[in-house]
Chains A and B, each alone.
Chain A
């Protein structure tokens, strides 16, 4: 399984994960200028843009820790473009879902909501 396959598997798992939470999934792999949004969903009144990170066993860093400040900035930039494009007026946020696969391929989810709080100067 190469890294692209791992990624696709992860996004599928992510969609199931959020559906199970009761969120409405609005889109997957939405391309915007300069980036891509893995998953878009509604959590109650709030629009959530989700970055999915999947890693199989053997990597040193867990998946959710691979988003650094540069990636965060890129996510905010893509998010703004997307929110603008679909004319969304309400509140929105960016979540991170880390999926770590064990030896048998079972996923372990780690969901970090609202990752921009206190980090990005707007």
Chain B
């Protein structure tokens, strides 16, 4: 392997690319081989101009080989290693120690921010080599521990550094903290809806999926938004995972520990949601990894779109296979869905009569498939408030988002401590082999559960999900053992096969 390495992205993974340069006599021409895409081929002009503005005049016939030759190279992030390779071959600089270079070049030699800095940083850490990257990417890479990274502002200072004429200071690691900002709307500002607020708390604490069902204007969307304010902060590992997905799309990293919150409109395509496309990019479900994926007006989504969510909801990863290859993206989301109970919206409302015919009602219900609803742990109805509640209730209602967040964070900490040895961090991820162990199902609870399963005709997955939710409820209380009451509450959140029938 040569001393100059670049990277190309395959999914969220960075693959090292060896840059080989040959300069022979002849009329000036640069040819790039090794399956470059249009952006890599066009790098010739950027690289030539950037080197020229640093006083390096390229001459003769130049061949650039990007190895491995059969792997397609994508994007402008190979500009910098190509330029350094050419500078070395034309004798302007010597690179002794193997290093990883990443960045897009401006014509005058400045380094432009690119995508892929975090995967590259992980690769550099694994290979134990230094990484040179644009200053615009320094902030995200600073969050990766144990990387020797340098962020020169331009090619000139990079070359000076490699020549040993001056030293660029390495990027200093930073560990951002949770900003204690109030996210609107605050739970205390939402009138009534005590049951739904409790369900939000449980969902946030254990990363359980949630369905909010209610009439128009009852506050489903508002509640879903308020969930943002009570999510526990990302752990170091989780934050790295979210950074990784963002970095492959070139989305700048926020230096805090706020969980992702993605709202998807029901006109979204399957590729936008699940990832894919000609250049294989992660979808919304991967951007919401370790955070919330909110699907408002759930039944309006295309059926195949919802079915596509089934496998990632179960596995926490999504594998996108195309002719150009297959990649796996992380996809462990807290799914929040909101829907009306029927097309007119007033089915089950105590005041307003429902105007739907039996046929339209049936059609509407059929859009929500059993398998997807089975994967949602918490089914909550959000009733319309009475006139008294709407007008007369004044001031703050119940605990504020901050108080709930503290409670949720404490419960999440308990989970992380307990499951650390098993390699996961929250109750939603408990594997099958542990779900029926003493940690989730005590001897005392067994007979009660048996009775409940018989009465409610729960599926195998249903039992597992109920037990996971019950575990979270116990953790919110700070109790080691899951009680009958906890299981009881968890069962209450679990509708029948169709939540509408159960409402």
Chain A contact residues, CB within 8 Å of chain B:
45-46, 76, 79-80, 83, 88-94, 114, 116-118, 120, 122
Residues of B contacting A83 in the complex (Cβ-Cβ under 8 angstroms)? 26-27
| Beta-carbon contact of B45 and A92 below 8 Å | no
**Given known A46-B59, A117-B48, contact A90–B25 (CB-CB < 8 A):** yes
Could you pull out 26 A-B pairs where Cβ atoms are within 8 angstroms?
A45-B59, A46-B59, A76-B27, A79-B27, A80-B27, A83-B26, A83-B27, A90-B25, A90-B60, A91-B26, A91-B28, A91-B59, A91-B60, A91-B61, A92-B26, A92-B27, A92-B60, A93-B27, A93-B59, A94-B27, A114-B28, A117-B28, A118-B45, A120-B27, A122-B27, A122-B29
Q: How far is the CA of A93 from the CA of B61 in the complex (A)?
A: 11
A45-B59, A89-B25, A93-B59 known; 17 other A-B pairs, CB under 8 Å?
A: A79-B27, A80-B27, A83-B26, A88-B25, A91-B28, A91-B59, A91-B60, A91-B61, A92-B25, A92-B26, A92-B27, A93-B27, A116-B27, A116-B28, A118-B45, A122-B27, A122-B29
Q: How far is the CA of A79 from the CA of B29 in the complex (A)?
A: 14
Q: How far is the CA of A93 from the CA of B26 in the complex (A)?
A: 8
Q: Is the interface of B mostly helix, strand, loop or mixed?
A: mixed
Q: How many of chain B's residues have a CB under 8 angstroms from any CB in A?
A: 10
Residues of B contacting A120 in the complex (Cβ-Cβ under 8 angstroms)? 27
Residues of A contacting B26 in the complex (Cβ-Cβ under 8 angstroms)? 83, 91-92
Q: Chain A CB within 10 Å — which of B27, B29, B45, B61 has the most?
A: B27
Across the interface, name the chain B residue whose C-beta is closest to A76.
B27
Across the interface, name the chain B residue whose C-beta is closest to A89.
B25
Which are the 3 A-B pairs with shortest beta-carbon distances?
A91-B60, A91-B59, A90-B25
Residues of A contacting B27 in the complex (Cβ-Cβ under 8 angstroms)? 76, 79-80, 83, 92-94, 116, 120, 122
| Beta-carbon contact of B28 and A93 below 8 Å | yes
Q: How far is the CA of A94 from the CA of B28 in the complex (A)?
A: 9
Instruction: Give the Cβ gap from A72 to chain B, nearest Cβ, in Å.
Output: 12
Instruction: Give the Cβ gap from A80 to chain B, nearest Cβ, in Å.
Output: 7
Interface residues of B in 25-65 (CB under 8 A from A): 25-29, 45, 48, 59-61
Q: How far is the CA of A38 from the CA of B61 in the complex (A)?
A: 24
Q: How far is the CA of A117 from the CA of B45 in the complex (A)?
A: 9
Q: How far is the CA of A97 from the CA of B494 in the complex (A)?
A: 84
Q: How far is the CA of A89 from the CA of B61 in the complex (A)?
A: 11
Residues of A contacting B48 in the complex (Cβ-Cβ under 8 angstroms)? 117
Residues of A contacting B59 in the complex (Cβ-Cβ under 8 angstroms)? 45-46, 91, 93
Residues of B contacting A92 in the complex (Cβ-Cβ under 8 angstroms)? 25-27, 60
Q: How far is the CA of A90 from the CA of B59 in the complex (A)?
A: 9
Q: Chain A CB within 10 Å — which of B28, B45, B60, B61 has the most?
A: B28
Q: CB-CB contacts of B322-344 with A at 8 A, as 1s and 0s? A: 00000000000000000000000
Interface residues of B in 56-83 (CB under 8 A from A): 59-61
Across the interface, name the chain B residue whose C-beta is closest to A80.
B27
Residues of A contacting B25 in the complex (Cβ-Cβ under 8 angstroms)? 88-92
Residues of B contacting A80 in the complex (Cβ-Cβ under 8 angstroms)? 27
Instruction: Give the Cβ gap from B227 to chain A, nearest Cβ, in Å.
Output: 54
Across the interface, name the chain B residue whose C-beta is closest to A114.
B28
Q: How far is the CA of A45 from the CA of B91 in the complex (A)?
A: 14
Residues of A contacting B28 in the complex (Cβ-Cβ under 8 angstroms)? 91, 93, 114, 116-117
Residues of B contacting A79 in the complex (Cβ-Cβ under 8 angstroms)? 27
Q: CB-CB contacts of B368-408 with A at 8 A, as 1s and 0s? A: 00000000000000000000000000000000000000000
Q: How far is the CA of A115 from the CA of B27 in the complex (A)?
A: 11
Instruction: Give the Cβ gap from B55 to chain A, nearest Cβ, in Å.
Output: 14
Instruction: Give the Cβ gap from B483 to chain A, nearest Cβ, in Å.
Output: 75
Q: How far is the CA of A89 from the CA of B27 in the complex (A)?
A: 11
Q: How far is the CA of A91 from the CA of B61 in the complex (A)?
A: 7
Across the interface, name the chain B residue whose C-beta is closest to A118.
B45
Q: CB-CB contacts of B80-104 with A at 8 A, as 1s and 0s? A: 0000000000000000000000000
Instruction: Give the Cβ gap from A82 to chain B, nearest Cβ, in Å.
Output: 11
Residues of A contacting B60 in the complex (Cβ-Cβ under 8 angstroms)? 90-92
Instruction: Give the Cβ gap from A90 to chain B, nearest Cβ, in Å.
Output: 4
Q: How far is the CA of A108 from the CA of B45 in the complex (A)?
A: 31
Q: How far is the CA of A16 from the CA of B59 in the complex (A)?
A: 25
Instruction: Give the Cβ gap from B51 to chain A, nearest Cβ, in Å.
Output: 12
Residues of B contacting A118 in the complex (Cβ-Cβ under 8 angstroms)? 45
Q: How far is the CA of A25 from the CA of B48 in the complex (A)?
A: 28
Residues of B contacting A88 in the complex (Cβ-Cβ under 8 angstroms)? 25
Across the interface, name the chain B residue whose C-beta is closest to A93.
B28
Residues of A contacting B29 in the complex (Cβ-Cβ under 8 angstroms)? 122
Q: How far is the CA of A92 from the CA of B60 in the complex (A)?
A: 6
Across the interface, name the chain B residue whose C-beta is closest to A88.
B25
Residues of B contacting A76 in the complex (Cβ-Cβ under 8 angstroms)? 27
Q: How far is the CA of A80 from the CA of B45 in the complex (A)?
A: 23
Q: How far is the CA of A91 from the CA of B25 in the complex (A)?
A: 4
Q: How far is the CA of A88 from the CA of B61 in the complex (A)?
A: 13
Q: How far is the CA of A88 from the CA of B59 in the complex (A)?
A: 14
Instruction: Give the Cβ gap from B421 to chain A, nearest Cβ, in Å.
Output: 60
Q: Chain B CB within 10 Å — which of A45, A83, A93 has the most?
A: A93
